[in-house]
Structure formats: C-alpha cells, structure tokens
Amino acid sequence: MSEQHGPPNITVKVFAPNSTEPTEFTFAKTEKVGDAADTAASQLGFQGQLVTFQDKDDRVLDRDRPLVAEQVKDGDELELVDIGGGV
C-alpha cells in the first residue's frame, strides 16, 4: 500500500525577525503550528510572548491547527512572528 499523502514530515525554512538567512527545520505534518513555532523560536533565540509563523503571502498561521491543515508544504519559507497580546 502506498502513502497517498506523502511522507509524514515536512522540512521548511524559517526566518527569525533578526536574521537574513533561514534555518531549516523538519516537523511532523500533524504538529500544531504553535508547537512548531515555539520549537523554532527557542532554537533561534527569538523571544516573543506568543509566536507563530507567517507565510510568503503574509498570512499569519493559526497556532492551534496542524501544519498540514494550514497548507504548509515541504520547502516552504516561513517567518516567525510574535502575535502575543499584552494588557
């Protein structure tokens, strides 16, 4: 039986706000956007209150949805953004 939906993981290039070069990350397709963004932010030294990804079309991804549900594909370039609220 072949895998209809491709491999279970996707590799993306992530830009931190203070960097000009992306860093490659591999995540499970079913990982939540917020968890993946938190992992990337931690490894890149980016500190925000509430981080998520923004795609090349400037669409801010929903932290509570899986990467695949937010249409993230292998090879995509994503930017870390802080959507944290405040008082």
Q: Over the stretch 1-33, which tens digit does the pLDDT of each residue have? A: 344 566 799 999 999 988 889 999 999 999 999
Could you tell me the pTM of the whole model? 0.87
CATH topology of domain 9-82: Ubiquitin-like (UB roll) (3.10.20)
The residue assigned the tokens 């959507």 is: 83
- What are the extents of the domains in the chain? 9-82
Structure tokens at 48: 């925000």
Q: Over the stretch 35-84, which tens digit does the pLDDT of each residue have? A: 999 999 999 998 888 999 999 999 999 999 999 999 999 999 999 999 98
Of the candidates 59, 13, 20, 17, the one whose C-alpha atom is nearest the C-alpha of residue 36 is 13
What is the C-alpha to C-alpha distance for residues 13 and 20, in angstroms, rounded to an integer?
12
Stronger pLDDT, 70 or 87, i.e. the higher one: 70
